[in-house]
Amino acid sequence: MAGTVVADTLQADSTSTLVLKNGVANTPPTIQDSAGTQIGTFCRAWVQFNGSTVTNPASMTGVNGSFNVSSVLDNGTGDYTVNFTTAMPDANYNFALSCQGSGASNNLIGIEQNIATNPTTSSIRVLVKQVATSIDRNYVCVAIFR
């Protein structure tokens, strides 16, 4: 049955979980404006892992939580490849990256997409750096939106 539900609030019963489903497999529900134009989707993949305990070959060891991530590969100090369970429709997705700080005010920590390896539909490679040196951090976070 096809149709449209118009409501200001959707709320699950106090004893259940609210579930939104899309009729197309492996495709998240979309967010649309009042004209029906797509303006976003839910997060397609995310992971939070310990960069010091991720193992090689790619595995879920060191992963504290994830969605649509099959494994994290340790390519070396502060260098990781996040592999998606279900591929993105294309490589034109947005990514949000963060990591644990250093605790010292003069030791800036940054995380970036590895410019030597472009994002693909199946993975993204990220680097964690302290000033110009790659470093492993206990909390590395990656979120993918498309």
| 71 has pLDDT over 80 | yes
pLDDT bucket at 104, cuts 50 / 70 / 90: low
Q: Which whole number is the average pLDDT over 69-86?
A: 94
Q: Which whole number is the average pLDDT over 86-111?
A: 78
Task: Supply the pLDDT for residue 46.
Answer: 94
Q: How far apart are the first and last CA of the chain?
A: 27
Q: Which whole number is the average pLDDT over 68-85?
A: 94
Cα–Cα distance between 7 and 124 in angstroms, integer? 37
DSSP one-letter string for the chain: -------S-----TTS------SSTT-PPEEE-TTS-EEEE---EEEEE-TTT--SSSBSTTEEEEESEEEEEEEETTEEEEEESS--SSS--EEEEEE---SSTT--EEEEE-TTS---SSEEEEEEEETTEE---S-EEEEEE-
Give the tens place of pLDDT for each residue, 105-130. Answer: 555 667 777 777 889 999 999 998 88
Give every CB contact of residue 119 below 8 A, 6+ residues apart in sequence. 91, 93, 95, 113, 125
Cα–Cα distance between 39 and 29 in angstroms, integer? 11
Task: Supply the pLDDT for residue 106.
Answer: 53
Please answer whether residues 93 and 45 qualify as being in contact, where contact means their C-beta atoms are separated by less than 8 angstroms: no
Task: Supply the pLDDT for residue 6.
Answer: 79
- Count other C-beta atoms under 10 Å from residue 133's C-beta: 9
Task: Supply the pLDDT for residue 125.
Answer: 93
Task: Supply the pLDDT for residue 107.
Answer: 59
pLDDT bucket at 1, cuts 50 / 70 / 90: low
| 102 has pLDDT over 80 | no
Task: Supply the pLDDT for residue 124.
Answer: 94
pLDDT higher for 118 or 31? 118
